[in-house]
Every structure is written in structure tokens, then in C-alpha cells.
Amino acid sequence: MWLRIEPRPEPSRLMRYLSPLLAVALMLICGMVLFKVLGKSPVEGFKVFFLQPMADRYSVAELFLKATPLMLCAVGLSVGFRGNVWNIGAEGQLLVGALAGGGLALHFPNSQSPFLLPAMFMAGALGGMLWAAIPAWLRTRFNANEILTSLMLVYVAELMVSWLVHGPWKDPDGFNFPQTRMFQSKAILPVLVEGTRVNAALVVALGALVVGWIFMNRSFLGYQMKVSGQAERAGRYAGFSARRTVWLGMLIGGCCAGLAGVSEVAGPIGQITEHISPGYGFAAMIVAFVGRLEPVGIFFASLLMALLYMGGEQAQQYLGLPYSISKVFQGLLLFFLLGSDVFIHFRLRLDRGRK
């Protein structure tokens, strides 16, 4: 007896939006069971993990701070994913963006120009795009699979950061520790809400969401990408170039990831170290999927994802659970989402009798 799925006559719009909620619910149930198994009260566990990170003004601000790079990366990725361009190297593009933007800050340690920060964002976007252009070029010129090349380049980027902070960019007054100088004040993003760390990068991220929404829903180019993503052949008949889809998808993804990199180094970190991103580029893929590749969805999904990170910290302090529980939740969430997504296009049937 095999489970069989059969296509729905038409994709279910309802399921499309219900599916993420279903996934979150399943993850929560799983989480409660997990707390129970570990001998913790499920209610207490839920409170600590999912409510405590929103307990006060500062924590809520932190939630937005943590969500900012996720939002940026995810909105860029979603443009590509819609066009079937599988850029899974946002982590690397984020790092190169951070290097480009941060490098500018280090190069002008005394600049008083108000344009320094905008220039850093520009440099970051270019850096991210440059790193994304490599898989795009290899794909369009040599037909090399962008999933694999963009992934490989993540590791190259990580090693590049490591080399720079251990070598040429090391803070000369930093006792040989692997990090650069702190950025000067003109290269640090202004804080939006006094007493918190939430900064101007959030505005950039929200702006990216708006631009992303307009691009996807109101522009001809965005429409073209969607069509060629859904049916490459149809797109080609209609005169859309597959090549352009790849380039656009990769470059937009790289641009946003690069911005995210700058938002971290010019925001809460304030310098370049080996620990710029705890895997935002990968987590952003989960965010993009859970957010249905749509800016509004991504907004909420990135906050949820930030909550999972912060819940893990809380669970350690108040429940004595290891931090890795965050990753378990993240993995479960994506699994459940992918699982429930199937019901958008399909129905499940039990297939008795064998072929």
C-alpha cells in the first residue's frame, strides 16, 4: 500500500496561504512534544521559547534587528526562486558585500562625509552582485549548475574573510587578534529607537521589500521572470530570454545579500570579524519559502525566524536546553512547510492494490 498523490484540477489558493500556518502549527506541536519528552512543561517551554523574546521593548527591537538581514537576503532570493534560479550562495554574497562595504569604511577612517554610509551600501550591493555574477556568468556562458557553483563560492568567501581579518586587514592595535579596526562613527548606522539596537538598516530592508513587491507584481520584467520560471518553454516562445532571467535572479539576490552584509558590519558589529553571519544566507532560504516568495510573507517569516534564533537563547537561560534546539526547530519548520506545500497542487490518496 503506497501513499499516492494526485494533482488537483487547479492549484489551491487557500492552501498556498494556509500551508505556512499549518507548518508553524505542526512545528509548535512538535516543539511541545519535544519539551514534554525532555521533562519540561510544554506550556512553560512555549512561553520561554516563543513569548519571552517579545517580552519588552528591547527584545522586540532585537527581533527586528535580527530579522533585518534575513528580510534583505530573502527578498532578493525570492526574485530568483520565482524565476527558477537557484542561488543558494546568499551567505557568500552577504560576506563579500560586508567586505566591500566594510572595506570602504576602513579605507576612510577620518571621513566626515554624510555620504559614507550610502556609499558603503552601494559598495556592499556591488560586492554581493559581483559574487553572484560569477555563478550567473558560469551558468549562462558555460551552462554550469548555479546551485553547486554558488554553494562552493560560499566557502571561498568565508575563507576570504578569514584571510583578510587574519592578515592584511587586521587591526594593527588589536594585539594580533583576528579582527579589523572598529569603524568610525560616520560609518555606523544610526539607531532608530533610543536604547535599542534597531537601526537604519531596517528602513533599507523595508524599502527592499516594497521595491521587491513592485518589481514582482507591477513590473513587466518581474512578470516575465515569473512566467519563464513557471514554464521555460512558454517564456521562450513569448520572447523572454532565459539568460536574462538567470542574470537578473542572481544579481538581485546578490545585491540584497550584499546590503544585508553591510547592515551587519555597519550595524550591530561595527567592524569586520570572522563571525559576521551565523548563517543568515541559508536561513533566508527558509524565510523565502515560508514567506511564499512574497514580500509581505517574507516580512512575517523573517520575524518568525528571528524568534526561533532568540528563543534558543532564552531556552538555554531559563530551561537549560542546548542552543541547538533552535536548529531543530528551523529544520522542522522547513520540512513541515515543504510537506504541506504539496497540498497546493495535489491531493493525497491511499493507493491500495499494487501495480
The 10 Å Cβ neighbour count of residue 273 is 17
- Closer to another protein at the Cβ: 213 or 346? 346
Spatial distance between the Cα atoms of 352 and 2, rounded to a whole number of angstroms: 7
Residue 335 as a binder of another protein (CB under 8 A): the answer is yes
The 10 Å Cβ neighbour count of residue 140 is 18
- Closer to another protein at the Cβ: 100 or 334? 334
284's grid cell: 533566508
| # of chain residues touching another protein (CB under 8 A) | 91
51's grid cell: 513569548
| Cβ–Cβ under 8 Å, residues 88 and 285 | yes
Q: How far is the CB of 278 from another protein (least distance, A)?
A: 5
Residue 327 as a binder of another protein (CB under 8 A): the answer is yes
- Residue among 24, 213, 244, 313 that touches another protein (CB under 8 A): 313
Site string for another protein, 219-248 (x = CB under 8 A): ------------------------------
- Residue among 83, 128, 178, 249 that touches another protein (CB under 8 A): 178
Residue 109 as a binder of another protein (CB under 8 A): the answer is no
Considering only 21-29, 254-262, 294-302, 330-338, which stretch makes contact with another protein by CB under 8 A?
A: 330-338
Residues in the chain, overall count:
355
Residue 21 as a binder of another protein (CB under 8 A): the answer is no
Q: How far is the CB of 239 from another protein (least distance, A)?
A: 23
Residue 341 as a binder of another protein (CB under 8 A): the answer is yes
Site string for another protein, 49-88 (x = CB under 8 A): --xx-xxxxxxxxx-xxx-------------------x-x
Q: Is 347 helix (H, G, I), strand (E, B) or coil?
A: strand
- Within the chain, residue ranges assigned H as helices are 13-37, 42-46, 57-82, 90-107, 116-142, 146-166, 201-218, 220-230, 232-237, 242-264, 280-290, 295-319, 325-345
The 10 Å Cβ neighbour count of residue 236 is 12
Residue 338 as a binder of another protein (CB under 8 A): the answer is yes
- Residue among 20, 271, 287, 295 that touches another protein (CB under 8 A): 271
Spatial distance between the Cα atoms of 250 and 225, rounded to a whole number of angstroms: 12
